[in-house]
Amino acid sequence: MSRCRVCQHALLEFFDFERQPLSSAFVAPDGTDDEFFFRLAVGMCESCALVQLIESVPPELAHHEGYPYHSAGSSVMTKHFEETARRFIETELTGPDPFVVEIGANDGVLLHTCGEAGIRHLAVEPSGAGTVRVHRAFFDAASAAAILATDGPADVVYSANTICSVPDLRPVFEGLDVLLASDGVFVFEDPYLGEILERTAFDQIYDEHVFFFTVRAVQALAERFGFVLADVERLPVHGGQIRYTVARAGRRTPTPAVAELLAEERELGLTDMATLEAFGRKIQGIRTELVALLHRLRAEGHTIAAYGATAKSSTIANYCGIGPDLVPYVCDTTPAKHGRLTPGSHIPVRPAAVFADPYPDYALLFAWNHAEEIMAKERAFREAGGRWILYVPHVHVV
């Protein structure tokens, strides 16, 4: 039986995506024999209600270079990190000589913005590339103690799109216990199970996302390690996330937003197995519809390409069996992916410029979480008669 990574109780499985590759393992055309596959399935802990992957990717294969890196590459995300930094500066970093730490610094926008305001800052990241000051390590009690010795306690420890990828959360909370100032806060943002269910955004489920948080589960998680969930805030980024603010037990009174979202989760039955199993049936429905649509369009002689060779598109492509026979190529702006094949599904990745040369009749929008931005940028595609195929929250053509 599989056990909860946090409290060791049994996991109740509610959906199985079957055989899936590593979502970031784009393969060379002659390298498809060596691909690694695992069973991508999700379950909920019967005790603490934390939704998580049933099987883990072996640690030596999982994002070995450090915390998963999510390049902003997007003006929306750059603005988000700048605004978050300004918020911290106004609310949490107001004491004398404040100090902010970011776990997995993404592209460093947040810390850079804090730095411009004269605030001491540090990224904790094993791979440690980038323009901001970096402590090269995973965040745990040892690295936290080293930082405490040189920089003193942190007023804010922040992390975006990283905590949900850390299979063992105990060292993270042990590190927080060492490094956080007595009134300091740990603020993290990750995809929200409520939003994933609401949008049927099942492609958020892939090897790099181990946990799918709810307010209920994060509250239990924080309390387990001697902290309190002090505030929650829904964010529009990445298709819907929650920003959790965690403080030392007894140091902050939870805001009304915590109780409100807890009540909303109860009302929606977010951590009921019946709700999660209904989500699974919707995923099966999307597969049936999307595969039928692609087959019909191909049979009618239409050309189809995919847009955005994202890690999260790996789940849908493999679960639906979408290969180069249905979608002959996918356009992407990342040079390192060009000339390679999508993991498991083996769709060739072409440069973004190929998209308009000539435009396909239909474009399957894999990077749907940036739909608004992409559709604005690619307005000419739509004006030339092209149509977008989206599959979140349901299969539709626009």
Q: Which residues bind Zn ion (CB under 5 A)?
A: 4, 6-7, 9, 45, 47-48
Which is nearer to Zn ion, 262 or 392 (by Cβ)?
Answer: 262
Shortest CB 9 distance to Zn ion, Å = 5
Which is nearer to Zn ion, 63 or 216 (by Cβ)?
Answer: 216
66 with 136: CB under 8 angstroms? Answer: no
Dist. CA 24–CA 356, nearest whole Å: 25
Dist. CA 89–CA 345, nearest whole Å: 45
Shortest CB 217 distance to Zn ion, Å = 8
Shortest CB 246 distance to Zn ion, Å = 17
Which is nearer to Zn ion, 7 or 273 (by Cβ)?
Answer: 7
Which is nearer to Zn ion, 9 or 87 (by Cβ)?
Answer: 9
Dist. CA 131–CA 113, nearest whole Å: 12
- Kindly state the helix (H) or strand (E) to which residue 221 belongs, with its residue range: helix 215-224
Would the CA dihedral through 120, 124, 126, 130 be positive or negative? negative
Which is nearer to Zn ion, 130 or 171 (by Cβ)?
Answer: 171
Dist. CA 397–CA 363, nearest whole Å: 9
Shortest CB 225 distance to Zn ion, Å = 13
Q: 326-330: long-range contacts at Cβ-Cβ below 8 A with a sequence spacing of 24 or more? A: 326/291, 326/294, 326/295, 326/298, 327/294, 327/364, 328/303, 328/304, 329/305, 329/354, 330/305, 330/306, 330/366
Which is nearer to Zn ion, 2 or 334 (by Cβ)?
Answer: 2
Ramachandran region of residue 301, left (φ > 0), alpha (ψ -120 to 50) or beta? left
User: How long a stretch of residues is the chain?
Assistant: 398
Shortest CB 271 distance to Zn ion, Å = 11
Which is nearer to Zn ion, 15 or 366 (by Cβ)?
Answer: 15
**Tokens for 76?**
């929306």
Helix, strand or coil, per DSSP, at residue 102: strand
Other beta carbons within 10 angstroms of residue 240's beta carbon come to: 18
Shortest CB 3 distance to Zn ion, Å = 8
Shortest CB 64 distance to Zn ion, Å = 27
Shortest CB 4 distance to Zn ion, Å = 3
Which is nearer to Zn ion, 224 or 338 (by Cβ)?
Answer: 224
- HEC assignment per residue over 301-316: CCCEEEECCCCCHHHH
